[in-house]
Amino acid sequence: MIQFNKIYFIGFILIFIIEIVIAKYATGFIRHTIGDVLATIFLYCLIKSFISISTNKTLLIVFIISFIIEFLQLTNFQNLYPEKMEKYLRIILGTSFSIGDLIAYLVGLTLVYIVERRNTNNVS
User: Which domain, by its residues, includes 112?
Assistant: 6-119
Q: Is residue 113 part of a domain?
A: yes
Name 33's Cβ contacts closer than 8 Å, sequence gap at least 6: 100, 104
pLDDT at 1: 87
Q: Is residue 47 assigned to a domain?
A: yes
| 36-86 tens-digit pLDDT | 999 999 999 999 999 999 999 999 999 999 999 999 888 888 787 888 888
**Helix (H/G/I), strand (E/B), else coil: 98:** coil
Give the confidence band of 124 by pLDDT, cuts at 50, 70, 90. Answer: low
Helix (H, G, I), strand (E, B) or coil at 119: helix
Q: How many domains does the chain have?
A: 1
Residue 60 dihedral angles phi and psi, to the nearest 5°: -65, -45
Beta bridge partners of 51: 2
How many CB atoms are closer than 10 A to CB 13? Answer: 14
1 in a structural domain: no
Whether 124 is covered by a domain: the verdict is: no
Structural domain contains residue 84: yes
Q: Average model confidence (pLDDT) for the chain?
A: 92
Question: Would the pLDDT of 108 be above 90?
Answer: yes
Greatest pairwise CA separation for the chain in angstroms: 48
Q: For residue 21, is it within any domain?
A: yes
Domain membership of residue 64 (yes or no) is: yes
